[in-house]
Amino acid sequence: MDSNNIRFYHNNRVEISVSLILFNEGAQVIAYCPSLDLSGYDQTEEKALADFDFMLSDYLETQVRQGTLREDLVAHGWFIEEDVGSEPSFTDMIETNQQLHQLISLPYKKRVVNKTCLIPA
């Protein structure tokens, strides 16, 4: 995918790339996506990412099925233009999300995860 984080296809397919923040909270590893306000967690990074993957797939499938994905992305600060879009900048998210602002003071790793989700027709 190019500089766009999301691409909409006419065959009910959505390709998305999102930024994740990985951090520990007690014995849990949290994979948090501030641009969608979604997270996954488990005892290892691998399992937390797998849980996030499930949450992201469920979110996308539900939003596409209900016809509300574009509207919800815009409500989360995404910039959507025709069949492509981009997530808000990390700086913009920090300015508008107090929880994220506090989170970045903790030790964390930022990672980009590419996820392609096929939505049943």
For 73-108, how does the pLDDT look when each residue is reduced to its tens digit (9 = 90+)? 999 999 999 999 999 988 888 888 888 888 887 777
- Backbone φ and ψ of 30, nearest 5°: -110, 130
Using the predicted structure, report yes or no on whether residue 8 has a pLDDT greater than 80: yes
Residue 117 has, within 13 A of its CA and on its CB side, a CA count of 24
What is the model's pLDDT at position 114? Answer: 60
CA 73 to chain centre: 10
Question: Which single residue is written with the structure tokens 């005892």?
Answer: 43
What is the model's pLDDT at position 121? Answer: 36
* Whether the Cβ atoms of residue 60 and residue 16 lie closer than 8 Å to each other: yes
Q: Which residue type does 116 have? A: T
Mean pLDDT of the region 47-70: 92
What is the model's pLDDT at position 104? Answer: 80
Using the predicted structure, report yes or no on whether residue 119 has a pLDDT greater than 70: no
3-state secondary structure of 9: coil
